[in-house]
Structure 1
């Protein structure tokens, strides 16, 4: 059975930690926004810690998040930023107290490792959404979607898909995150069962050949065949290849999944973009695609 953490209410405490890369500067604006939602913000040691590119060494980052996982007064934990490093500490985390009294874990990008781990090992829902480091440039709509998810309001997104996909309706548990990290956790305890799920994927700074390679890996491992639906978010800041690959990320992905019959949409507002809308991993979703019109709901 999938567990849903308790929704937040005014006066609850939310902790900010950095399980991966160090913060390059102040996150005061993000703290102010969280406080304006009626939340009490608690800062972990990793918010100001530095160890090479990381927010403190592995031991500190693991201990920082562990303390908040175990603290019953903390009702949610939001990663300050992504980058790289969560995979280095994921196996050090102890969920004994957390699984009895789960709380919302929020983040995206590198934090995909943690979101996958929570669902694969514990069947606990988590939130893929904006992080304090990205709050300043975030659209009001993306921040509002995060607030709604945390406080238990229904989520509904409607948009026009600029790259043709496949029409249809799908209902199922929503999983996903950063493509690179979804591939990274394959073969580990954090690997998710994709069968009968609606999958969303996004990535940043990859070359087309790399996207092609990772998608083929998911296909060859059987991950793509049994989906209920596929949501492709932003694939931006594509690195230039010396010899052109000859296809956009959208075309690369479509060529790999076009043989299946489930609905597929592209350009969904999720990923390393200002308008990174919140999605609840592990929660039921309904996806309706009518030609290029897309509606996704989680209620």
Structure 2
């Protein structure tokens, strides 16, 4: 069966703010809290907001307890993960999705939240890869926030990217899967690994050495995860780092090095990832990728 879409949001419904990863203060989510209220939503602030245990938003048990509470509460219709960083993968094996299955709800976030996006997809549910509350007020980010709202209320979306020298023309249809490359690598071989077969994969990453990008893509290639792709969407690869002896390729060239082994269409420079223009994608929703001489379009 195709992944189930939770009910779209309606004004007056309750939503929750939590952090499954890095710590965050109440002040840092104040702008997002007001934005959600302006959308007509009642905002519940979880106990992980403002909690701290070293770099985490409280220890593993607190973050798990907070997220589990929001999963179990049928009156909460969406959970916004306030920020990324690191820590979500430490929780996922201890979460119980049985009450969530009785009343599915949207889970939204990106970066470290890729773990939840993929875990939910494996369980048979759609979720949203989109801008997080800590970034709602960033300069140039208004369109990203608007796209998140559109996804939550069920509006269709079309995203475009300019022509790129590494694009491979073609048309692909399939459910969207993907997110942060580092996290896709981390969950390989675990109960959170999502199947890429027949799906359109999208990738983004931040602050990685170029040889790490190569190593992770090599792993996806050697483990067979790229072999059955319908198409590939490449987003932002931001703040990449290099060694004293240069790797010799940038991130897009490294991706192309592996993509050349396959025949699926590839579109580069999509507005997805760790930049202000981070458009919301619904993981698990059917999509159509068109790559031609004019650029790329992703319809969802």
Q: What TM-score comes out, normalization by structure 1 length?
A: 0.97
3-state SS of 2:21 partner: coil
- Whether 1:145 aligns to 2:150 is no
The structural deviation recorded for 1:100 is 1.9
2:88 maps to what in 1?
Answer: 86
Q: 1:62 aligns with which of 44, 61, 64?
A: 64
Indicate if the aligned counterparts of 1:163 and 1:267 stay in contact, CA closer than 8 A: no
Alpha-carbon separation, structure 1, partners of 2:234 and 2:130: 15
Alpha-carbon separation, structure 1, partners of 2:70 and 2:168: 43
1:172 maps to what in 2?
Answer: 174
Alpha-carbon separation, structure 1, partners of 2:20 and 2:143: 26
Alpha-carbon separation, structure 1, partners of 2:294 and 2:252: 14
Matches within 5 A, 1:41-52: 41-52=43-54
3-state SS of 1:47 partner: coil
Alpha-carbon separation, structure 2, partners of 1:131 and 1:140: 12
Indicate if the aligned counterparts of 1:203 and 1:236 stay in contact, CA closer than 8 A: yes
3-state SS of 1:46 partner: coil
Deviations 1:27-70 (A, max 9, x none): 11111111111111110000110111000010000000000100
The structural deviation recorded for 1:3 is 1.0
Alpha-carbon separation, structure 2, partners of 1:163 and 1:38: 44
Matches within 5 A, 1:146-295: 146-295=148-297
Alpha-carbon separation, structure 1, partners of 2:229 and 2:144: 26
2:12 maps to what in 1?
Answer: 11
- Whether 1:99 aligns to 2:79 is no
1:116 maps to what in 2?
Answer: 118
Deviations 1:195-251 (A, max 9, x none): 101000000001111100100100001111110000011001012311100111000
Structure 1: any 5+ residue segments left out of the alignment?
none
3-state SS of 2:28 partner: coil
Kindly report structure 1 stretches of 4+ aligned residues shifted beyond 3 Å: none
Alpha-carbon separation, structure 2, partners of 1:26 and 1:173: 34
Alpha-carbon separation, structure 1, partners of 2:98 and 2:67: 14
Cα RMSD (Å) of the superposition?
1.0
Structure 2: any 5+ residue segments left out of the alignment?
none
Indicate if the aligned counterparts of 2:115 and 2:183 stay in contact, CA closer than 8 A: yes
3-state SS of 2:8 partner: coil
3-state SS of 1:170 partner: strand
3-state SS of 2:146 partner: helix
The structural deviation recorded for 1:284 is 0.2
Indicate if the aligned counterparts of 2:136 and 2:142 stay in contact, CA closer than 8 A: no
Indicate if the aligned counterparts of 2:164 and 2:295 stay in contact, CA closer than 8 A: no
3-state SS of 1:172 partner: strand
